[in-house]
Amino acid sequence: MQLSDSLIKRKSTRAFLNKPVETEKIQQILNLARHAPSGVNTQPWQVAVVSGATKSRLQEKLEAAFRSGVKAKMDYQYYPQQWLEPFKSRRKACGLKMYSTLNIAREDKDKQLEQWAANYRAFDAPVMLLFFLDASAEQGSFLDYGMFLQSLMLAAVDQGLATCPQAALTEYPDIVKEELGHKEEDLLICGMALGYEDCDALVNSYRTEREDMSGFTCFFD
């Protein structure tokens, strides 16, 4: 598959087949992603590949925390404290696109809650990836990590796999670190669902809009 095709085909997948992901494929996409660039070759990524009984225990604890109303407390501030335009409108359109596709009305809070709760199970994908960053790292390492994550997701497409990068899986970092025995001081910066897409699932049938190149680019001669 050409890179241009992979870039367009990649999407946030929210329903997966009940089909295990071969360990060799996971190793392959990680081996490809490790070639992503990083400042002075720091390679700051630390990856936990979670599946099987460990994933079941972890997602049960995460979902229970969400359903019991435990306040999320990420290791860093992901979203702005105050939403401004055009980001406010894009955020709203993103949510409306999903709920309208699923025929979930704005007033149907129960169905909305159930859909959101699926985040903490990595949308029932067979594999949950969790990404950590050393506590000594600075903001530049977030740029490095973004390039690593995109490389990983494109490599997954090339292997016939689907992904969904998730901030929700980082909302209860204390639970994740305790379950995995990870250092408490490190930052849990992202999670990701990984598996084979359920192409018949309604939630996978829509695509979010992207700004035209002319809307964010200036050329200077």
pLDDT reported for residue 215 = 94
pLDDT reported for residue 106 = 86
Q: 187, 87 in Cβ contact below 8 A?
A: no
pLDDT reported for residue 41 = 98
Which domains, from first to last, does the chain contain? Answer: 3-79+119-207 (3.40.109.10)
**DSSP per-residue string spanning 67-106:** HTTPPP--SS--S-SS--TTHHHHHHHHHHHHHHHTT--T
Sheet holding 46-51, edge to edge: 46-51, 127-133, 187-195, 162-166
pLDDT reported for residue 47 = 98
Block mean pLDDT (10 aa), the chain, length 221: 90 97 98 98 98 98 97 95 95 92 90 94 98 96 98 97 98 98 96 98 94 96 94
Helices (H), the chain: 3-9, 23-33, 52-67, 87-101, 109-117, 140-158, 173-180
pLDDT reported for residue 101 = 93
pLDDT reported for residue 200 = 97
pLDDT reported for residue 44 = 97
pLDDT reported for residue 107 = 87
152 CB neighbour count, 10 Å cutoff = 23
In this structure, the strands spanning 46-51 and 187-195 are unpaired
pTM across the whole model = 0.95
